[in-house]
């Protein structure tokens, strides 16, 4: 993590502006030197005074401000910034950026700067899905603007879907990193994540509630540790962490095939995916009609991906996850032994507080010598701790 990076936070007029002071704090916690610019609309949602107090510097608002121009004017501020992050980024502001407008201070700064530019969009899900917004985002991506998020979930307008601004800590981490040690520089890590889908017919299948968040967080952390990361993912609704090679698969067999393609170049394999244990013996070609009162589905075991990796000659350092609902640590330890892996991370997936879909969790790491509990943390924080344990064990081999 480079200290004292000069970060300009641009706040635009969305409801998520209430999260912007938190973003400023978190950027400062990571060593950022932060200045704030607000659009006129943003000042309707949160006061410049709050941002001034949090950042410790006056907030910039007006383009045509003679006083400011004699001090830190727009060109000076544009030159000062190493990173500009617009958070929240409204649909309107994203449209202005895409069109190269310069009708207020923030748009002018963006046009006048050579800084790295990032946007954390925040809007109602319909506004997000609108082709106009999507086209504008595509334009920005093409120009090298980094789009962070948005996240999925409940929105201020009462709807549920994609469009929530990413959490401030996540944005700060994307921009300034976490200062994690580069313990995996030069190593190739292959991970699996998410559920698998075993088709019953073209529209139905057997799957599970895995969201993929843990595997994606581990991929992100492994990248930050300096590794080259390949992420083989079942069907999930998550954005690929930047710098990570993602391969999408559907069934357990697809996942195994892709793992086998990559395993020869892998130093560490982490099987986070919740792979279906069984699949239908037959998958109907056409949708099955409900013309019978009952039906039986004959199931057959799917391949055991973790075991197959651990059993190859000269296997990579292999880490498995055990998602359990009861006697969690007992099941995890027996998996560690029976599958001959180096390490198992036990995950409680029972009930509402369980790991599936949640952003926070607690886990226990089991190695052949000992067990270690990792306190409740977000999944990135857990990933850093899990990787530290894995790397120290791997290096001792
Ligand atoms: C209560 C309220 C909440 C709003 N929230 C959002 C939002 O979350 N995202 C968005 O894109 N626009 C939102 N808008 C619309 C913007 O405020 C509007 O497009 C404004 O012109 C944005 O100006 P700016 O992009 O220059 O900051 C909201 C409007 C109101 C009245």
Give the model confidence (pLDDT) of 86-98 as tens digits: 999 999 999 999 9
123-127, 240-244, 274-278: the lowest-pLDDT one: 240-244
Ligand 1 contact via 42 beta carbon (within 6 Å): yes
334-338, 350-354, 377-381: the lowest-pLDDT one: 350-354
Measure 126 CA to ligand 1 centroid, in angstroms. Answer: 13
Measure 14 CA to ligand 1 centroid, in angstroms. Answer: 4
Ligand 1 contact via 127 beta carbon (within 6 Å): yes
What atom of ligand 1 comes closest to residue 39's alpha carbon?
Answer: 27
- The larger pLDDT score, comparing residue 3 to residue 80, is at 80
Transcribe 117-168 into DSSP letters. Answer: EEEEE---HHHHHSHHHHHHHHHHHHTTPEE---EEEE-TTS-EEEEEPPPH
Helix (H) or strand (E) holding 246: strand 245-248
Q: Which part of the chain is CATH 3.40.50.10300? A: 188-396
What atom of ligand 1 comes closest to residue 44's alpha carbon?
Answer: 17
Transcribe 275-327 into DSSP letters. Answer: --SEEES---SSPPP--SS-----EEEPP-HHHHHHTSSSPPEEEEEEEESSS
Which residue CA neighbors atom 25 of ligand 1 most closely? 93
User: What pLDDT sits at residue 177?
Assistant: 78
198-212, 265-279, 375-389: the lowest-pLDDT one: 375-389
What atom of ligand 1 comes closest to residue 165's alpha carbon?
Answer: 8
User: What pLDDT sits at residue 62?
Assistant: 83
Protein fold of 6-176: Rossmann fold (3.40.50)
Res 1 pLDDT > 50: no
Beta-carbon count within 10 A of 246 CB: 17
Ligand 1 contact via 380 beta carbon (within 6 Å): no
User: What pLDDT sits at residue 242?
Assistant: 73
Measure 87 CA to ligand 1 centroid, in angstroms. Answer: 12
Give the residues across from 192 on adjacent strands: 232, 271
Q: Are 223 and 182 in contact (CB under 8 A)?
A: no
Res 174 pLDDT > 80: yes
Res 67 pLDDT > 70: no
Res 69 pLDDT > 60: no
User: How far is Cα 236 from Cα 216, in angstroms, rounded to an integer?
Assistant: 10
List, by residue number, the catalytic residues. Answer: 157
- The larger pLDDT score, comparing residue 364 to residue 358, is at 364
**In what side-by-side order are the strands of the sheet with 371-378?**
245-248, 228-233, 188-193, 268-271, 317-324, 343-348, 360-367, 371-378
CB within 8 Å of 305: residues ≥ 6 apart? 192, 252, 255, 256, 259, 271, 273, 275
Which residue CA neighbors atom 5 of ligand 1 most closely? 14
Ligand 1 contact via 122 beta carbon (within 6 Å): yes
Res 287 pLDDT > 90: yes
What atom of ligand 1 comes closest to residue 127's alpha carbon?
Answer: 11
Judged by DSSP in three states, 371 sits in strand
Res 258 pLDDT > 80: yes
Ligand 1 contact via 11 beta carbon (within 6 Å): no
Measure 184 CA to ligand 1 centroid, in angstroms. Answer: 42
Q: How far is CA 274 from CA 152, 305, 349, in A?
A: 21, 11, 11
User: What pLDDT sits at residue 2?
Assistant: 47
Which residue CA neighbors atom 16 of ligand 1 most closely? 13
Is this model's pTM higher than 0.75 or not?
no
**Residue 355, burial from CB neighbour count under 10 angstroms (0-12, 13-18, 19+):** buried
Measure 92 CA to ligand 1 centroid, in angstroms. Answer: 7
Beta-carbon count within 10 A of 215 CB: 28
Mean residue pLDDT across the chain: 91
Measure 58 CA to ligand 1 centroid, in angstroms. Answer: 23
Closest CA to 115 of 75, 73, 76, 79: 79
Which residue CA neighbors atom 6 of ligand 1 most closely? 14
Res 324 pLDDT > 90: no
Ligand 1 contact via 90 beta carbon (within 6 Å): yes
CB within 8 Å of 395: residues ≥ 6 apart? none
Q: Which part of the chain is CATH 3.40.50.1950? A: 6-176
Which residue CA neighbors atom 28 of ligand 1 most closely? 14
Ligand 1 contact via 275 beta carbon (within 6 Å): no
Region 348-358: mean pLDDT is 67
- pLDDT tens per residue, range 17-35: 999 999 999 999 888 999 9
Domain 188-396, architecture per CATH: 3-Layer(aba) Sandwich (3.40)
Ligand 1 contact via 13 beta carbon (within 6 Å): yes
Region 324-350: mean pLDDT is 89
């Amino acid at each position: 993590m480079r200290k004292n990076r000069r970060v300009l936070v641009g706040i635009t007029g969305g409801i998520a502006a209430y999260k912007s002071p938190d973003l400023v704090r978190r950027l400062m916690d990571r060593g950022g030197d932060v200045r704030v610019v607000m659009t006129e609309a943003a000042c309707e949602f949160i006061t410049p005074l709050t941002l001034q107090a949090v950042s410790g510097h006056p907030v910039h608002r007006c383009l045509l401000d003679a006083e400011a121009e004699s001090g830190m004017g727009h060109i000076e501020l544009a030159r000062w910034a190493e990173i500009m992050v617009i958070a929240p980024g409204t649909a309107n502001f994203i449209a202005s950026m895409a069109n190269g407008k310069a009708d207020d201070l923030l748009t002018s700064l963006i046009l006048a700067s050579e800084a790295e530019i990032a946007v954390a969009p925040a809007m109602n899900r319909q506004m997000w899905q609108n082709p106009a917004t999507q086209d504008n985002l595509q334009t920005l991506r093409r120009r090298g603007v980094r789009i962070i998020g948005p996240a999925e979930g409940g929105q201020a307008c009462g709807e549920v879907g994609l469009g929530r601004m990413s959490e401030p800590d996540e944005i700060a981490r994307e921009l300034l990193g976490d200062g994690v040690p580069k313990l995996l520089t030069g190593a190739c890590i292959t991970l699996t994540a998410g559920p698998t889908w075993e088709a019953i017919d073209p529209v139905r299948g057997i799957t599970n509630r895995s969201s993929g968040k843990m595997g994606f967080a581990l991929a992100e952390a492994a990248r930050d540790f300096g590794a080259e990361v390949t992420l083989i993912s079942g069907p999930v609704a998550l954005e690929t962490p930047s710098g990570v090679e993602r391969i999408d698969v559907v069934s357990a067999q697809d996942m195994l095939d892709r793992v086998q393609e990559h395993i020869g170049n892998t130093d560490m394999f982490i099987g986070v995916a919740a792979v279906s244990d069984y699949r239908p013996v037959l998958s109907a070609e056409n949708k099955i009609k409900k013309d019978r009162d009952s039906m039986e589905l004959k199931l057959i075991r799917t391949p055991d991906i973790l075991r197959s990796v651990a059993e190859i000659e000269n296997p990579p350092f292999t880490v498995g996850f055990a998602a359990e609902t009861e006697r969690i640590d007992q099941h995890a330890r027996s998996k560690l032994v029976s599958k001959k892996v180096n390490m198992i991370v036990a995950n409680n997936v029972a009930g509402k507080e369980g790991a599936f879909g949640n952003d926070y969790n607690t886990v226990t790491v089991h190695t052949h010598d000992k067990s270690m509990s990792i306190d409740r943390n977000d999944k990135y924080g857990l990933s850093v701790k899990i990787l530290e344990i894995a790397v120290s064990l791997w290096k001792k081999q």
